[in-house]
Amino acid sequence: MIRIKNISKSYDGVAALREVSFDVGKGEILGLVGPNGSGKTTLLKSLVGVVRPDSGQAWIAGVDSTEDALEARKHVGYSPGDPALYDSLSVLEILEFAIGFHPEADLSLGMKLLDLFGVSLEKRAGKLSHGMKRKLLLAQALASQAPVLILDEPMEGLDPEVRKTAEKILVELAGRGRAILMSSHDLAGLERTCHRVAFLREGRLLDVGELEDFLEQASRVLRIRF
C-alpha cells in the first residue's frame, strides 16, 4: 500500500534522506524510528507531498505521490508532527475541512473520537493545548477512513489513557486492512502496536525488521537492555 523507492532529499546541500526504500503492506503497522534529525519527518512529508523529494518515487495505494500528490493525498489520513492550525477556526470546522479531501471520510467518527479524547468541538484552535491539538490531528487522520495512515509522532503529548485507546484503534484499523506508517520515540508503544520497524540514521535506512530483532541488536551494540 505504501512503496518508497530511493527517496533522497537535501536542504541547502545537506542530505536529510539518502536513497530510502521500503514498503508497508495492507494490514501492517510499521514504526519509523531514529534519533532526532535522522529524516523521519522529511520522509513522511515527502510521502504526502508537503516536501518534494530531489529524487526517487513513492506510491500510495498505487498512486505515484511524487507525480500526483493531490490524487495520492485522497488515499492518506495524515497527522503531521507540527500542529499548525488556524487559530480562529473551531475544532469542528478544522475536522470538517481536513476530512473534506477524503471521499470515504466519516465526520461522525471524527466527532466521536474527539468526544472520547475529551476535546470540545466548539473550542477555537488558538485555545487548544499542545496535547489537544495532537488529539485533533489524530482524530482527523482516523476519521478520513483512508486506506493508508501516515502519522508523525501521533502519540506525542497524549495522556496514557488516550494513548492506550488510540493504540487499540490503530491495531483494529490494521486488522481491517489499513496500512499504517508512524514515527515514534516510544519503544514500548511501538512494541504494543507495530509489526515491523524501519530504523533511520542520518537520512539512511539502516534496517527494516521485527522490533524484537532491532531491540536485541541495539542492546548488543549499546550493551544496554531496553
- Given the rule CB under 6 A, which residues bind ligand ADP? 11, 16, 34, 36-42
CB of 208 to ligand ADP, least distance (A): 16
CB of 72 to ligand ADP, least distance (A): 19
Residue 160, class by beta-carbon neighbours within 10 Å (0-12 exposed, 13-18 middle, 19+ buried)? exposed
Residue 208, class by beta-carbon neighbours within 10 Å (0-12 exposed, 13-18 middle, 19+ buried)? middle
3 state SS of 105: coil
What is the chain's Cα-based Rg? 17
Measured CA to CA, the distance from residue 224 to residue 226 in angstroms comes to 7
CB of 128 to ligand ADP, least distance (A): 23
Nearer to ligand ADP, 15 or 92 (CB): 15
CB of 34 to ligand ADP, least distance (A): 5
Q: Scan for cell 530483532, then name that residue.
A: 213
Strand 14-24 to 2-11 pairing: antiparallel
Nearer to ligand ADP, 11 or 86 (CB): 11
Nearer to ligand ADP, 22 or 117 (CB): 22
Nearer to ligand ADP, 53 or 147 (CB): 53
Helix and strand element counts for the chain (H, E): 8, 10
CB of 14 to ligand ADP, least distance (A): 6
